[in-house]
Chain A
Amino acid sequence: MPGAAERGSELSEQIEAFAARLRRGGERPRSEDTARQTLSLLRKIVGNGRWSRAGELMDLIRTEGQRMTAAQPSETTVGNMVRRVLKVIREEYGRLHGRSEESDQQESLHKLLTSGGLSEDFRTPYPSLRANVIEAINEMLIELEGTTDNIAMQALEHIHSNEVIMTIGYSRTVEAFLKEAARKRKFQVIVAECAPFCQGHEMAVRLSKENIETTVMSDAAIFAVMSRVNKVIIGTKTILANGALIAVSGTHTLALAAKHHSTPLIVCAPMFKLSPQFPNEEDSFHKFVSPQEVLPFTEGEILAKINVHCPVFDYVPPELITLFISNIGGNAPSYIYRLMSELYHPDDYEL
């Protein structure tokens, strides 16, 4: 079958290109785009891959998923999407296997303890499984489309007139959130510039175009200004399983300052950023890029004598966060574990 072989190699080439793009990670991809690309690649694997049983498909997805996540561990979205698809396969298989919806849910501690031996073997072949899974992935893609809008719709519940809002760096979700609120209400936004990359500047420009009263300030001024702020609204790269954040560096400072002044800290993040990983896994989340932005290469002699680091992300512990606003509504950090079990199957936490 030369046609299938060619399709297979084309697919593997696409995965390779995707992984290479993640690895080079030059232009700071949007998480939503990454999620969409991952899903469409996974859909192709389901559609074109050589498998007949659910178990084989899951193995296939898992190996390809590992390859893609290993390329850039800090892009957790990729792994999350792989886990979502694995969960979908489990569900579809279960439905075809004639099991009721409820029995799949792990509701009680008792069930959790006893379910260990009951794991399914996913051996029975179902011809309709392929179509069903693809259908489910398509639904997920549609769901992705609306995430930012869903979050923005909740803006009016959180932002009131004449409030002073602080944010840091540039997040598309937060941008949409604030713009939505600005359609009805008047409020002021203070943007911390988020050195050394200064994405805050771009954020401020975009907001002021919508006639929102915007102030840019340096990161050092966060604490000083915090006393005047009513709410802090930020975006994030990842939400970890314990409700902590992996967010752009500078966020931890901001969160601590907010805690000190008892200012509520609201995190706008779509559900696909929720990752079942815990922060104790060394080296999987942090990302150090070239120190060029911190101390330029042109500095000359001094560079041989010093070490310069340029981390991209901060870890923000869950106790500093007041509320998560996701596309399915607002949740406290303590509730994250629950969302986690709804989104992913516990067996897939480790890919």
Chain B
Amino acid sequence: MAARGTARRGAGGGSARGPDPQEEPPPPLQAVLVADSFNRRFFPISKDRPRALLPMANVAMIDYTLEFLTATGVEETFVFCCWKSAEIKEHLQKSKWCRHTSPNTVRFVTSDLYRSLGDVLRDVDAKSLVRSDFILVTGDVVSNFNISKALEEHKLRRKMEKNVSVMTMIFKESSPGHHARCKEDDIVIAMDSATNRVLHYQRTQGLKRFRFPMSLFQNSIENVEVRHDLLDCHISICSPQVAELFTDNFDYQTRDDFVRGLLVNEEVLGNQIHMHVTTEEYGAHICNLLMYEAVCSDIIRRWVYPLTPEMNFTDDKNQSYTHSKHNIYRGVDVSLGHGSVLEENVLIGQGTVIGSNCCITNSVIGQNCRIGDRVTLDGAVLWDRVHIADNVEIHHSVICDEAEVKEKVKLKPRCVLSSQVVVGPGITLSEGTVISLHPPDEEEEDDDQFSDDSGVNKESKVKLKGYNKKDVGSEGRGYLWKADDKNEEDEEEQRQSLWGPAMHSEEESESDSDLSMGSEEPDSRAASPQLDDIKVFQNEVLGTLQRGEEENISCDNLVLEINSLKYAYNIGLKEMMQVLSKVILEFPLQQLDANLDSQTYFSALVPLLKNWTPLFKNYIKRASDHLNALCAIEEFFLEHDSLCTSIAKVLMTFYQLEILEEDVILNWFSLRDTSDKGKQLRKNQRLQKFIQWLEEAEEESSDGDQD
């Protein structure tokens, strides 16, 4: 196969084949396609089928990605698979991409050891697969972008300034509120408008305020643009250096780590990242079901032209559609019953039979489905061989292969029925119900199959014996994964992790939904997987300090480690200060016993504080830092009532060690906007004495000055 491929290449090279402008003798354009998401956002759907093969308007996502690469002139693609690699391989080998006439040679690299994008790129470097600039995409990108212009810019930049720019990221312009804008991928970017250089890259994570480093505006750059109207397509043009950088920095897990690391170390390493913004073409990365739905409807509405269903770009005989008015696409042998109406934006796969008096709008129906009479489908996505009985109503839900919905079932928005599930008859599934044949707690067994951990619910539920008839109906088959129950926080979070942050939950904090950034090491994950970044960071700091204590590591090294953690988790200075104070105050509790009395607690704490004074001094520099530290101390003592009495002593120690200054302590004490508890704390006798002492001391010193 390979030999033939090269022979063909040699023969075909001379003739005018294809429009590729990259045809000049220098190395062919290569691409690295990561056919694994390294997270569980699509659980339980992706339990049966890898994410790259999920059908998007009846065509597997990876086909869109490959078509995009081929259309843009890529001649060699490395497909990296991990989870269910055999299935992906089988799918691709059957598709047109592996025919010898394909202008894009697809090569597979499989390993179960990949845990993240970082591992893949390290492997790219180790095997030295890429020879020149390459395109990095994941297997769930849908785009009709023509990369050649961005590629030219990239190459020009690299020629002008030898190897300074290592990566060009592709963004699509789309204003906030656009339905294809993924909340969790929302980013704020600061760029140099003259050179398109990325200066600052930050995920919004639902934050309302953003901090930009001052240095951004103090540099000699004339125009700094801060943009929030960009959609990250997750397409990047990388130079071979990118793979090397991943090897050098073994802690880079995701592209975000890489971008952040590069921007932070820009002055040291001298590497830059650039961006390319497209307005015309389409590009989207499907990271959750909400995006899945949005991109599906964009494909049907022809935004991704020419990747529309009737173009049949996969050259699959079963995938020929006709396109008629109001974006109705019909496959071969579709039968539509008497009185049934296809309103608009409907795609019906080959061999599907629809009964009479149905009303279907904005839906995708797979191949060989059976749909009964008087069925209403609105925004439904049905995969292949789904059976729907009479009088069913389905709104904005996903129903996977071979699932069955019995009579008079009603599916409220955002339900998911994974493959072969049966529900009904006569029940109503509430909003956000997810039903799968896999029991929900089974997931821990194959935990190691995944490298990332979003939304793993380890608070194990009671293993269901048999199917719960209440959830799935009297003839139903399947386990309820989660219902939309607002009382239970975890479940809410899980629902979000599948559908992504819901439309209506804008005001909610979304820190939980972006765990994929966290990329924790396995051990911290095992402890409590649902932590947000700050908590994970706190754990890490605690671990570091513990080690420092045990192994007697010098403070300088500790500072170094904590600094690197700070960058890894993108923690602000303020949070950093709070976390550090809290961790140190909690330290004796962790070490000895949770129920210490204040006396022993204090005596355990003092040597620690003395040891780590340089640590504090390193971080506490400005007045606001002092205040932050004090707030954290206050918070800690509020949480641990029994230790309240020692607060004065602790503060005294801080004061004596010259970590905290008296002005700030006084300032803090006089803060008005505190809770009742805080006020009570301030009434603590010893504390008041301490403050009094401080005040006197100050007066004395000022008196002294006057003399």
Contact = CB atoms under 8 A, between A and B. Distances in A.
B176 A9 contact: no
A75 to B, nearest CB: 13
A307 B178 contact: no
Nearest to A14: B17
A300 B180 CA distance: 9
Interface stretch (A179-187, A199-207, A219-227, A287-295): A287-295
Contact of A298 (B17, B103, B174, B322): B174
B80 to A, nearest CB: 25
A297 B295 CA distance: 13
Contact of B323 (A13, A21, A283, A300): A283
Contacts of B101: 9, 12-13, 16
Interface residues of A, number: 35
Contact of B18 (A21, A23, A289): A21
Contacts, number: 105
B458 to A, nearest CB: 36
Interface string B91-118: 0000000001111000000000000000
Contact of B313 (A23, A299, A310): A23
A309 B320 CA distance: 21
Interface stretch (B302-310, B364-372, B511-519, B587-595): B302-310
A297 B178 contact: yes
A307 B178 CA distance: 14
B175 interface: yes
Interface in A23-62: 23-26
Contacts of B12: 10, 13
A297 B173 contact: yes
Contacts of B178: 297-301, 303-304
A70 B315 CA distance: 10
B306 A297 contact: no
A290 B304 contact: yes
Contacts of B324: 282-283
B18 A288 contact: no
Nearest to A282: B324
Residues of B in contact with A, size category: 35 or more
B280 interface: yes
A17 B19 CA distance: 9
Contact of B303 (A13, A26, A290): A290
B15 interface: yes
Nearest to B173: A298
B229 A290 contact: no
B11 interface: yes
B326 interface: yes
A331 B229 CA distance: 55
B326 A307 contact: yes
Contacts of B301: 291, 307-308
B175 A23 contact: no
Contact of A303 (B176, B179, B305): B179
B293 to A, nearest CB: 11
A6 interface: yes
A146 interface: no
Contacts of B279: 296-298
Contacts of B310: 283
26 contacts: A6-B11, A10-B15, A17-B17, A20-B18, A21-B19, A23-B306, A23-B311, A24-B71, A70-B320, A282-B322, A283-B310, A283-B322, A288-B302, A288-B323, A289-B302, A290-B302, A290-B304, A291-B301, A291-B302, A292-B303, A298-B178, A298-B229, A299-B175, A299-B178, A303-B178, A307-B326
